[in-house]
Structure formats: C-alpha cells, structure tokens
Amino acid sequence: MTARRRRIEWAVRIVILTLLAYALVEPFLLRVREVTIADEDLPADFDGLRIAFLADFHCAWFFPPSRVAGVVRRANDIRPDLVILGGDYVNTGTKYVAPCFAELAKLRAPLGVYAVMGNHDHWGAAQAVREAMRESGFTLLENSGAWVERGPGRIRLGGVADLWEGVPRLGPMLHGVSEGDFALLVSHHPDYAEELRTDLVDVTLAAHMHGGQVTLFGLWAPILPSDYGQKYRSGTVAAPRTTVVLTNGVGGAPIRFCARPEIVLVTLRRRELSQ
C-alpha cells in the first residue's frame, strides 16, 4: 500500500468518525425556527400572535424528563401567546408519562396549551396520556375544536385523531366555521392534509417526520413514514387545500443528522385584502 493511499484511507476514516460524532451531538442542538403565516382571514386582534409548536418528545431513557424540562424552559423563554403540542410525548408504555407531563405542565402561555395525540402515545399509554393532559390543564383536541378569543376577535383551533392509530374526523373542528374565519388544524401526521376536502382550514401544524431524523445533508431522507415521498419531510409545504407547517420535533432517536430538533415559533399576521 502506497503512502498516498494510506493517507486517503485515514482521511476517509477521520471524516466518517467526525460525521458520526456530530450525529450523536445534533440531538442536543435544539433550535427555535421562526415561521410567519399571513392570511386575510386572520382577525386584526390576532395580528402578531406567537404560537410555540412542540412535538415528538418520545420521552424514554434516551430522552429523559430532564431533557423535556430543558425544552420547556426554552419554550417559555420565547414567551409565546399560545402553545400547541403535536403528539408523541412518550416513546411507548406508561413509565415516562407522569415524569414527562410533570415537566410539560410548566409550559406557560396566556391563551393556553392545546394538544393532540401521536401514534406512539397509543402504544400502551393512551389513557394515561389523556389523563395527564387533563391534570396539566391542557386542552386535548382529538376530533374536536375550540374558539380562541382575543379582544373581540376569535380564531378556530382544532385537532384530529392520529392518522395511524385513530380515526381522524374533521367535522367537529369545523362546526360553526365559515369561509371568513381563520382556522388552524393540528394533525400529528402530515399525510392527513392530503385527505382534506375543504378550503376552510387555513393552516395545518404537523409533526411525526422528525425532519427525516437522519438525512443526506438535509436534502433527502432514506426512511420517511409518509405515502408522499419527501414532500412532508420538513419546513412549510403547500398541500392541495391547506398550508402545512412541519416541525422536526424535539426528541426521537438519540441520533440525528442534518435534521436538527426544533421548536417552531409561528407568528400569525393579518394580510390585507387586495385592492
């Protein structure tokens, strides 16, 4: 073996080891990613409303309650008006439900905390998660909706059951909603956006994809639990009848690559009607 070939092989090994080391560090590099949504249906009283969207904790030995506590502190530091939780609070079973929600209960927002269930929450922990939500003072949006009021204005906030482990029903969320209302839907699985047959849902918040978890430098994920390829991997996506804002989630497996964990801070803006 020539000296040049040995140098190349060592360089390749160093690069591989460096990438592997980074993949073990990235799960700790929580960021706040800001997204602005402008819509003509948004009441003037809600202009500038800030929503902290958190999901995919997967609380377990690899994402213990102490990590949940750190996420909660980071979310509270940005002082959102409203907090929305997108599901998958525990990885499986009931062992981590109580300690996870002991930390989540510390979330603070003047307009409250709203939540949906994820597929992992159904894997032996569904009833325990629902009870923990109630005890924490959260509003569970499971095939239901609620009017959120600010001054004389109001917006409709709703959620559907998990696409894999439940039966999503949009009807209750849209009860009383007219074309001029601003409606925000929360669905753990983004694929549900493809099933919408109405234009009444202005924005959909979704999770589940973890940004691909391990990606080819943020461009492509080899494993993605979606029927629509890479479409709903990350970012803000135009679905046929709604705009989908995705989060990479805050937890998940103890390895990530170019799919940083994140809190998504959504700012709502009123867009004036075109003259």
State the pLDDT at residue 182. Answer: 98
Is the separation of the CB atoms in 236 and 35 below 8 Å?
A: yes
**Residue range 70-86: average pLDDT?**
98
39 - beta bridge partners? 270
Strand order across the 183-187 sheet = 144-150, 153-159, 183-187, 203-206, 243-246, 236-238
Calculate ∠ Cα 254-27-257, nearest 5°. 90
Residue % of the chain over a pLDDT of 70: 97
Q: Where are the alpha helices (DSSP H) in 52-191?
A: 65-77, 97-104, 126-136
What gap in Å lies between CA 255 and CA 146, rounded to an integer?
A: 37
Is the separation of the CB atoms in 233 and 27 below 8 Å?
A: no
Smallest CA-to-CA distance from 157 within 122, 116, 117 is with: 116
State the pLDDT at residue 9. Answer: 73
| 194 φ/ψ angles, rounded to the nearest 5 degrees | -75, -15
Please say if the pLDDT value at position 253 is more than 50.
yes
Which domains are assigned to the chain? 3-270 (3.60.21.10)
State the pLDDT at residue 128. Answer: 98
**Residue range 224-232: average pLDDT?**
98
State the pLDDT at residue 25. Answer: 95
The mean pLDDT of the chain is: 95
Q: Which residue has the higher pLDDT, 76 or 2?
A: 76
SS3 (DSSP) at 45:
helix
**7 pLDDT tier (thresholds 50, 70, 90):** confident
Predicted TM-score of the model (pTM): 0.95
State the pLDDT at residue 256. Answer: 97
pLDDT tens, 142-163?
999 999 999 999 999 999 999 9
What gap in Å lies between CA 175 and CA 96, rounded to an integer?
A: 35
Strand order across the 82-85 sheet = 31-39, 262-270, 50-54, 82-85, 113-115, 139-140
State the pLDDT at residue 22. Answer: 87
State the pLDDT at residue 140. Answer: 98
Interhelix angle 126-136/97-104, rounded to 10 degrees, is 30
Is the separation of the CB atoms in 259 and 234 below 8 Å?
A: yes
pLDDT tens, 18-70?
778 889 999 999 999 999 999 999 999 999 999 999 999 999 999 999 999 99
**16 pLDDT tier (thresholds 50, 70, 90):** confident
State the pLDDT at residue 5. Answer: 75
Please say if the pLDDT value at position 177 is more than 60.
yes
**275 pLDDT tier (thresholds 50, 70, 90):** very low
Q: Which residue in this structure is represented by tokens 């994809």?
A: 209
> Which residues, including other chains, have CB under 8 Å from residue 206's CB and lie 6 or more apart?
86, 186, 187, 188, 189, 190, 192, 193, 232, 244, 245, 246, 247
**Residue range 196-213: average pLDDT?**
98
